[in-house]
With several copies, the nearest count.
Chain A
Amino acid sequence: MTDFAEIKLSNAQIAWRAAQDIEDGAYVNLGIGFPEMVAQYQVEGREAIYHTENGVLNFGAAPAEGEEDWDLINAGKKAITLKDGAAFFHHADSFAMVRGGHLDVAILGAFQVAQNGDLANWSTGKGVPAVGGAMDLVHGAKRVAVVTDHVTKKGDPKLVAECTMPLTGVGCVTRVYTSLAVIDIEDGHFVLREKLPQISLEELQAVTGGELKVQGTVADLIVPEL
């Protein structure tokens, strides 16, 4: 198998690419961990409003160390700050926003994404299970995007014909930003939209578990050094 370690995008670069698709005025929920990086690459001139499950809209960056107020945290239990026009609400209202279709985008991490849009990102099946808000977030947001390395640390595909790990949601993912490509999920198929120009379609297919369809042009995935 080809090793793409030299050319693949870093997590920061994947986050940057995902950020380019967030429109001005969008309401966005970023999953805990890697997806949170997307906020750092918000496109100049666009304003996104970030939602966190524990009941805050329009929060901002982390405060300086020592300035934390531990009553003001995000879903990852990290200290946050507020922007002008923020609002607090309880958990039922917060998930009304999630399930009720009020978020424009949710961006999550993944263990596996299947070609029909199934997502597995909450359980490896071992140890203490913990789900948090993941199963809610995959339903309701107008777009459910995933940011992920294209393959596992062992080199196995994370984009698969069918998920083998416990599902987070059925047919819910609309777009995947990987370290090698941008792939939409349409009508039960992976549709390749962008790929690193250094990789051929055949090479990309070889590290992808489901068939990569091509509809029209495949654009070059060009991301700045970060």
Chain B
Amino acid sequence: MDKSCASAAEAVACIPDGATVMIGGFGGSGGPIELIHALIDKGAKNLTVINNNAGNGDVGLAAMIREDMVGKLICSFPKSKDPRAFTERYLDGKIELELVPQGTLAERIRAGGAGIPAFYTPTSYGTDLAKGKPVGDFDGRSYVQERWLKADFALVKGELGDPMGNMTYRLAARNFNPLMCMAARHTIAQVTKLVPAGGIDPEQVITPGIFVNSIVEIANPQQEEVLNREGAVYP
């Protein structure tokens, strides 16, 4: 079994216009910058993107938004040091926003991956973000019913990977990545080092390969935070 891909460009070539795409990372940590940039190179329109944020500066997700590739964003926190790309389009009504509490976003993605179509959470009960959602009472407390989130594609970033798709993550760059691997029909991973099958201790695998469809080694991945501090612009 060999899920490895020669390049980021090859890995993202299958993503069509109109696709729903989960993108891992939290702020500048754990975002698959090279995969995102390869998708910008390829071009795709009217994407629905699921990410915790809405990009920062002029690289990564912010650059996708600036290139008008994103029709809808599902996220918890569309603010950053430099959120211009999103903010301008949002205030102009050019991009749709579904705002989801962060824990609910994570749980909805996990539910999508785990075959759980709906669940109840205390989060957002009685707030504007629960409007129109069913409520359930359990043991004397009220909860909001939330639905699973799935995607056509996930773009994620890992640390070690093997050709079967097994992965580990570096430090807090884990965040949403393992969940998104589970919830997408086709998960594309970039890893800093691709090792042979057997090169990751089975006890230390965080994402089992069953959740990954293609994997590409990007040996010295860029870091959104570092790029932004350098004032980088992509493309």
Chains A and B form a bound pair: yes
Interface residues of A (CB under 8 A from B): 25, 27, 47, 49, 51-58, 69-73, 77, 82, 84-103, 118, 123, 127-136, 139-140, 166-170
CA distance A127 to B83 in the complex (A): 12
**Which A residues are CB-close (under 8 A) to B102?**
53, 91, 95, 131-133, 136
CB distance A70 to B28 under 8 Å?
yes
CB distance B202 to A82 under 8 Å?
yes
CB distance A54 to B198 under 8 Å?
no
CA distance A145 to B46 in the complex (A): 39
Number of interface residues of B (CB under 8 A): 75
**Which A residues are CB-close (under 8 A) to B99?**
129-131
CA distance A55 to B79 in the complex (A): 20
A-facing mask of B169-201, CB < 8 A → 1, else 0?
111111111110010000000000000111010
CB distance A55 to B175 under 8 Å?
yes
Interface residues of B (CB under 8 A from A): 1, 26-30, 52, 76-80, 83, 86-87, 90-91, 97, 99-107, 109-110, 112-116, 121-129, 162-164, 166, 169-179, 182, 196-198, 200, 202-203, 205-206, 208-211, 223-226
CB distance B77 to A98 under 8 Å?
no
Determine how close the nearest CB of chain A comes to the CB of B220; give it in whole angstroms.
14
**Which B residues are CB-close (under 8 A) to A135?**
101, 103-104, 123-124, 127, 129
**Which B residues are CB-close (under 8 A) to A93?**
208
Q: Contact check: which of B107, B125, B209 meets A95 at CB < 8 Å?
A: B107
Known A-B contacts A51-B210, A99-B115; the reply to A92 vs B127 at CB < 8 A is no
Determine how close the nearest CB of chain B comes to the CB of A17; give it in whole angstroms.
24
CB distance A90 to B127 under 8 Å?
no
Q: Contact check: which of A69, A84, A129, A130 meets B171 at CB < 8 Å?
A: A69
